[in-house]
Each structure stands twice: as C-alpha cells, then as structure tokens.
Amino acid sequence: MKWALSDTPEEMIDADFFQVDWGDWISPGSVHVKTVPFGIIAQPGAGEYEITCSGKSVRVGRHEAFLTPAYEPMRIVHHADRFGRFSARWIHFSFVLYQTIDITSLLDMPLRIDARYGRELSRIMQELLRAESPAPLEALNRSVRRRELMWRVLRFVCDVSKFKPDALDRVNAGRRLAPLLAFLNSHFAHPISVSEMAELVNMSISRFFAYFKSKMGCSPMEYAKRIRLNEAASQFSLTDRLVKEVAAHTGFAGPFHLSREFKRQFGLSPKQYRAMHSHSGLRSEATGHPSRDG
C-alpha cells in the first residue's frame, strides 16, 4: 500500500490520551474480561500474561509484550513465576485521525510482540517511567520528553503492524467526513438527526447514510452513540459522578438507558467498570480512561 501516516497532515493526528504505569501487586491467576476504548501494550517483568483477543490466544513472557486494539473484547490471565511473583508495566494509548478515527482501527496488529521488538519496547517504557520525575523545575523538560516518547510509541505500533486493506479508504472517508466527526466529538451530548449530519458534509440523506456505513463500519447514529459511551467511560474512570449525572452529561435519556447501552458496549455495568478502572494512581498527561492494569 502506497500510503503512510506521513501522507496525512500533522494537525489531523492527535494523541487523545496516553498513560503509562507499572505494578507488582496484581494477584497471580486473576482473570480480567473487558472491552476498552484504547489500545494496550503490556509487558510482564515477572510471570506471564495469557491473553485472548480477536479470536487468538497467546502467552507472553519476559521481554515480550501483548498489543491489543481499542474496542476488542479481551480476556487477560496473570500467571505467577516459580517464585509466586507477577509484575508488569503497561501503556494505554489512543491516537486519532480527524479527532475520532482510532488509529488502531486501521492496523492489523500482532497480539504477541516477540523479544526482538520487546526489548526496544522495554527501553521506551523505562524512559517513559523515568520521565515521571516530580521535580517542579523539571516539569517542562518532562512534558516535552513524554510527548516525544508518546510519538515513539505510535511509531513502534506502526512498525510492528500492517495497515489493513481498507485503511486508505477509511482515512479518505475521515477526511471527507471531518466536519461531522469534529462536531460529534465536541458536541457528544447534543441531539442530532441523520439529516443534520448529512447537511454538515453537504450530502443527501440517502447518499450520506450509505457512504458513512460503508466507510465507518456502522450507522451514523451508532457512531455518535459510541462517542457518547466513550465519554461516559471517561467520566466513570476519572470522576465520582453518579450514573444519572453521567447520563445527563452524555445525552442519554436516564441512568437505566445509559447502563443498558454501556454494558452492551463494554461488557461491564458502570459500577463494575468504575471498580476496575478507577483509583489506579496512574500518571497521565492527557485526559483518558485509566485502568488498574494491562
């Protein structure tokens, strides 16, 4: 495919959020089943991961890593080493085109990253964690360094992946739909009809609906609902707002409506999602959806 990210204007690529952390407190043998609106890179330091995602299952050991895209259901098992220990470090990331197209949706990513690439990844993670120095006078330097490393992570993900056959078509569609996608992303709670969406991109309703669904893989209204659910996930992760408050903030009819749609999308109720994803102590520079582990 004669296309690369460099063919896309730089201002169209953005880091939606980016988080890095490590831990050795995870209970060996614990199982997590979840769907998350961000990509994950996780690398064990002691013990092994067993990860099932996109119809594949692998075990990942030291110097290796697993890589998963956003919105894919996954099952993660933590296996202790012979000393009963498990430790890991992980990155949660979302890089987007035209404010809403997650770059992982354009990539055919390997579930398992072998030791050859894993060692490079380990160096990046170590640098990221060192860039977390709290010294006030180092704040500017830290921020610049983190942003440089963030883009190194994106390059790493692209280097170990291949673009899907329809990636260029989806990017072109994103460019064509950019005014609408930008509006949906910044007015997620605003009621909008299909006719209003079509008007934003200067298309007839019938042509717009068919074009959007063929290029984005879902209907316009389903896409708008996904954006609202992602914002709800962020609210459950980062705030103590009640479900009814989050529902009002994200444009759902009420707490029961939000809870039903949320569980359908993420496989967890808002309460379960908040318990798993909140109060992790993760250090982040961009707004996002923190998680307790990889």
pLDDT at 171: 87
Kindly state whether residues 14 and 137 are assigned to the same domain.
yes
Dist. CA 33–CA 52, nearest whole Å: 9
How many other C-beta atoms can be found within 10 angstroms of the C-beta atom of residue 56? 10
Strands (E), 114-259: 162-163
Kindly state whether residues 122 and 203 are assigned to the same domain.
no
Q: Give the pairing type, strands 107-108 and 74-79.
A: unpaired
pLDDT at 162: 94
Q: Is 153 helix (H, G, I), strand (E, B) or coil?
A: helix
Among the three residues 135, 163, 191, which one is the final residue of a domain in this structure?
Answer: 163
- CATH number of the CATH domain containing 63: 2.60.120.10
Kindly state whether residues 195 and 77 are assigned to the same domain.
no
What are the CB-based long-range contacts (under 8 Å, 24+) for 133-139? none
C-beta of residue 72 within 8 angstroms of C-beta of residue 40? no
Averaged over 96-112, what is the pLDDT? 88
Strands (E), the chain: 13-23, 31-34, 39-46, 48-53, 56-60, 65-68, 74-79, 87-97, 101-102, 107-108, 112-113, 162-163, 283-284
The residues facing 77 across adjacent strands are: 31, 50
Give pLDDT tens digits for 134-174.
666 667 777 788 888 999 999 999 999 999 998 888 888 88
Kindly state whether residues 229 and 135 are assigned to the same domain.
no
Kindly state whether residues 28 and 137 are assigned to the same domain.
yes
Please check whether residue 293 lies inside any domain of the structure: no
The candidate with the shortest Cα–Cα distance to 22, out of 115, 130, 142, 102, is 130
Among the three residues 163, 184, 219, which one is the final residue of a domain in this structure?
Answer: 163
Kindly state whether residues 88 and 213 are assigned to the same domain.
no
Please check whether residue 290 lies inside any domain of the structure: no
- CATH number of the CATH domain containing 216: 1.10.10.60
Report CA dihedral (92, 96, 101, 106) to the nearest 10 degrees.
Answer: -70
Range of the domain at 273: 167-284
Dist. CA 182–CA 221, nearest whole Å: 15
Q: Which two tokens stand for residue 6?
A: 């460099």
Give pLDDT tens digits for 40-87.
999 999 999 999 998 899 999 989 999 999 888 899 999 998 888 899
Please check whether residue 291 lies inside any domain of the structure: no
Please check whether residue 109 lies inside any domain of the structure: yes
pLDDT reading at 2 higher than 80:
no
Kindly state whether residues 159 and 45 are assigned to the same domain.
yes
Decide which of 199 and 290 is more confident: 199
C-beta of residue 68 within 8 angstroms of C-beta of residue 111? yes
How many other C-beta atoms can be found within 10 angstroms of the C-beta atom of residue 153? 21
Among the three residues 129, 163, 197, which one is the final residue of a domain in this structure?
Answer: 163
pLDDT reading at 232 higher than 60:
yes
